[in-house]
Amino acid sequence: MQTPKIDIHGKTAREAIALLKYNMKSFYDRGLHEIFIVHGKGQGILRENVRAYVRNLPYVKGYRQGGRSEGGNGVTVVIFKN
């Protein structure tokens, strides 16, 4: 099974966080281990907003930058708690 993605590339920070609020808990409730948030590289504004948001979610174990084959710095991989 391919890791699910939330693509917020090109969104404003406000639009991106709204999409995350709408989708993240449902992915966790489905028992997924991780998801990819695609924000692009740009100036890093979306990346920083995404990471600040997920950092405080009670069902998120942690996050990491995407690996080279996953999109690198243009992707944040969110790891859910079990």
pLDDT tens figures, 45-79? 999 999 999 999 999 999 999 999 999 999 999 99
Q: Rounded CA gap, 80 and 59, in Å?
A: 6
Supply the mean pLDDT for the chain. 95
Res. 1: pLDDT tops 80: no
Supply φ then ψ for residue 66, to 5 degrees: -60, 145
Domains in the chain: boundaries? 5-80
With 0.85 as the threshold, say if the pTM is over it: yes
CATH number of the domain located at residue range(s) 5-80 in this protein: 3.30.1370.110
Measured in Å, how far apart are the chain's first and last C-alpha atoms?
18
